[in-house]
Amino acid sequence: MKNDLTVILKEIKLFLFDLDGVLVHNNNLTVPQVEEIIQEINKFSKELTSSGLMFGIVTARNQDELITELDKIENIFLISSTLEKVKAVDKLLSRISISYKNVFYAGDEVLDLPLLAKVGLSAAPSWAKREVKRSAKYVFMGTNINSILNEILVLVKNVRN
């Protein structure tokens, strides 16, 4: 599996994440929690960008303080307020001229299954719904935003170096 993952990761150009349930575990975030999430995502986005890769978030979350702050981060594709994630990602991929085989997506709910099925590398956190974990090619060992994003960075660096 590790060799398969390495081969697949070499093809990935865009890393997409579901927000709620994967990177964020609380709907009622405090200001310090929002700041921490923004800081982690900004750092991750810069790391990916410096490696020539792209980053984005695809979420059903409606416009709120977190979405507003995420939208201010440079070099991030932010798709919010959508339950039709495949349709939204179709538009993004058309705009940036890449195919699904070049996309990584991490989701945790049944709503994410259609997008997980289309991407080159699908992932889920360990606490995701059972059917989501079964459909994912990779299950995160990390337990929070920091450890999950660092896990991806380590994998990317191991493949790219």
The values of phi and psi at residue 137, to 5°, are: -80, -20
Please count the structural domains in the chain: 1
- The stretch 25-37 carries a mean pLDDT of 88
pLDDT tops 80 at residue 160: no
> What pLDDT score does 42 carry?
96
Helix (H, G, I), strand (E, B) or coil at 40: helix
- The crossing angle, in degrees rounded to 10, of helices 2-11 and 145-160 is 80
Residue 3: what pLDDT? 60
Is residue 2 pLDDT above 60, yes or no? no
Closest CA to 78 of 63, 61, 58: 58
- pLDDT at residue number 1: 47
Per-residue pLDDT tens over the stretch 66-123? 999 999 999 999 999 999 999 999 999 999 999 999 999 999 999 999 999 999 999 9
pLDDT value at residue 161? 67
Phi, psi of 30 (to 5 degrees): -80, 165
Region 49-56: mean pLDDT is 95
| CATH number for 21 | 3.40.50.1000
- The residues facing 77 across adjacent strands are 56
Do the Cβ atoms of 109 and 132 come closer than 8 Å? yes
Give this prediction's pTM. Answer: 0.94
**What domain range includes position 55?**
2-160
* CA dihedral sign, ordered 143, 84, 102, 96: negative
